[in-house]
Structure 1
Amino acid sequence: MQAIMLYFSGSGVQIFSLGMIFMLVTGPLSAVSGILRTFEPFRIAGSDGKPSYALLVPPMVVFVLCQAAVFGLGLYKCWTMGILPSGAADWLQFETRPEAPEWSNVRALIFG
């Protein structure tokens, strides 16, 4: 569903597209951070009688992988819109110019 909504949001930098991207990037992060709360209703009592997450590890891994796919979809949309710094021109402000060679001494020796 998220992919369809991204497709229809367009590739221009508009408030609707940026809102969709914000949801795609922050949603998986909050979902993964609250994974124990998400799987709380599915805890099953172990052999000692206490509820355990041991049997829920494979579904939790699949859940995290699906959330990573949604996060990657959001980053891909940022890249296609051009708001993700991915080229050399995006980092020009951090580059420094080399020191210019001093030619006045060479010219003085050549031309006197």
Structure 2
Amino acid sequence: MRLHGSAMRLTILIGEDAHYKQRPLYSEIVRRAHDQGMAGASVFRGMEGFGASSLIHTDRILSLSDDLPIAIVIVDNEERINEFVAQLDELVTEGLVIMDRVEVYRYVGRPPWAAG
């Protein structure tokens, strides 16, 4: 079965070295999103990027960086995303937060014969 509807996507861009109380910041954000019952969250590690510092961080062996870009993507309805964004003021000291409206197609309840 396919469910379709509008949602909000929250993307938080930070450096891999960002921490909150001895824990990786991306891990703390995902934990809080889970505790708050958000619909879903994923963390993506970038291969290369730069931010406000204009320093290029890369995973290429000749210029290996410890602080690669991280993107945390959370999807839920607008009200829940707005409530969650308020927590980011406490957590994020350097980074970028992006919110955009998205159309979501969610596939649920596949019949057993359709499993791969």
Of structures 1 and 2, the one scoring higher in RCO (CA 8 A, sep 6+) is 2
With the length of structure 1 as denominator, give the TM-score of the two structures.
0.23
Structure number with bigger Rg: 1
The structure whose residues are more often helix, as a share, is 1
